[in-house]
Amino acid sequence: MDSAVTARLKVCVELTPKPCGVVVFGASGDLAQRKLLPALFSLWARKLIPPSFFVLGCARTAMTTAEFREKVRAAIARRCTARPEECEAFVRRCAYLAGEYFDPAFHATLAKTLAESGAEFGTGGNAVFYLAVPPSLYGALVGRLSAAGLLRQGENGESWRRVVIEKPFGRDLASAAALGREIGRVLAEDQIYRIDHYLGKETVQNVLMLRFANAVFEPLWNRRYVDHVQITVAESIGVEHRAG
């Protein structure tokens, strides 16, 4: 279908995923182990990720690739139902690089590893950098990636680079805007992906459904009458390794 026609009709078209490497900063932490790695494997098992794909975990924790792969296996076993051959095919595409996030030598090694892995798995230079690190590091880390040339995209769309950042984006509106400006100095808007997984929770989605499906609430639930919406989510887990 023509793209202009698709836009006018507001048709949701599922795009064929493109080859890419996924670089996870904070790969030894709780978010990566509990959520990101199992989610990537789930996409892989459902063939929603192309065969030309790899995961490069980065963190300050000293660890070998073999040790990281054991953690990946354990993370998949805890969260997913996996056939052994699927798990091993995914694990073979995982590697690990330890280092200090703001050390130029680390970024030089990262650039070399990305190039080698990209050639091995045929990703064409496409890469996603997922920042599973404290929000206070976002701006400086993106700046360091840019200074090292790791966010440079190919001409004419030959290759692309993306950055994913998790909530919270600053402490308030002013700090969120400042973070946006800082990141925007080195990234185009279509290179930035902001993730707040709580907006996808069923209860949050139901607020909109309840408003627009109810003739009584719809004219009243707006900024003139509602100061704010507060939703409390009780969790069975603690802070774990997410503090700091």
- Tell me the C-alpha distance between 5 and 146, whole Å: 37
pLDDT band at 156 (very low <50, low <70, confident <90, very high): confident
Find, among 19, 28, 43, 47, the residue nearest to 128 by Cα.
19
pLDDT over 90 at 202, yes or no? no
Rounded to two decimals, the pTM is 0.81
pLDDT digits (tens, 9 = 90+) for 21-59: 999 999 999 889 988 999 999 998 888 988 899 999 999
Q: What is the pLDDT of residue 243?
A: 43
Give the confidence band of 192 by pLDDT, cuts at 50, 70, 90. Answer: very high
Tell me the mean pLDDT in the region 82-99.
91
pLDDT at 5 exceeding the cut of 90: no
* pLDDT at residue 2 in the model: 54
Domain spanning 15-197: which superfamily?
NAD(P)-binding Rossmann-like Domain (3.40.50.720)
| % of the chain residues with pLDDT over 70 | 88
Q: Where are the domains of the chain?
A: 15-197
Confidence of residue 204 (pLDDT cuts 50, 70, 90): confident
- Mean pLDDT, range 173-192, rounded to an integer: 92
Q: What was the pLDDT predicted at 39?
A: 92
DSSP code of residue 103: -
Give the pLDDT mean for 164-189: 89
Task: Grade residue 92 by pLDDT with cuts at 50, 70 and 90.
Answer: very high
* pLDDT tens-digit map of 100-144: 999 999 999 999 999 999 999 999 999 999 999 988 899 999 999
Task: Please report the pLDDT score of residue 155 as a whole number.
Answer: 81
Give all strands of the β-sheet with 192-195 in edge-to-edge order. Answer: 94-98, 53-59, 20-25, 127-131, 161-166, 192-195
User: In whole angstroms, what is the distance from residue 243 CA to residue 134 CA?
Assistant: 9
For position 203, what pLDDT does the model report?
77
* pLDDT of 244: 38
What element of type H or E holds 166? Answer: strand 161-166
d(CA 215, CA 7): 30
What percentage of the chain reaches a pLDDT higher than 90? 52
